[in-house]
Amino acid sequence: LFTHIRRRCWEDCRDRSRSRSRSRDRKKTKSEANGDSQRFFLKNTGELDDWKIQSHFKRYGEILSCNVLMDKRKKQYRGMGFITLKPEGYYRGKKNTKQMMIEWVLEESHVVNGVKIDVTQADEKPEEDEDRKR
């Protein structure tokens, strides 16, 4: 009887831990929902953090993600990052579309706190392979 109860408790614990793990399906649906968004590569960000960059780029559209790369050993910013924007609002009197947002972001010069940032379109993010991560 105790063996059965112990085994049953162990199975319940394993089931609970699985339910908290991240699933591939959840990630796919999130990326598919963002088909209207565009990812940009930022160079020469210097010591700017996520918050300062987000406050500058929020006028171009909704910010879905903003990542400023850091050196893990030195705990310093590497001077580059990525930002993902979704078109929102109006540009030149017309409703903002993905192509219009791309032109708008790329044609303007971006100066944040005295730092001139170079912005280019980022390549498509490759699919993550679960086996490579381990």
pLDDT tens-digit readout, 24-81: 444 443 444 457 889 999 999 888 888 999 999 998 889 999 998 888 888 888 888 9
pLDDT(6) > 90: no
Are the C-beta atoms of residues 80 and 41 closer than 8 Å to each other?
yes
Rounded to whole angstroms, how far apart are CA atoms 114 and 45? 10
State both tokens at 55. 């406050």
Q: How far is CA 84 from CA 2, 14, 38, 122, in A?
A: 54, 36, 6, 9
Q: What is the model's pLDDT at position 24?
A: 46
Average pLDDT estimate for 15-27: 49
What percentage of the chain exceeds 90 in pLDDT? 24
pLDDT(15) > 70: no
State both tokens at 49. 């953090």
pLDDT tens-digit readout, 79-114: 889 999 999 888 878 888 888 898 989 998 999 989
Q: What is the model's pLDDT at position 9?
A: 60
pLDDT band at 120 (very low <50, low <70, confident <90, very high): very high
Q: What is the model's pLDDT at position 74?
A: 85
State both tokens at 70. 């850091």
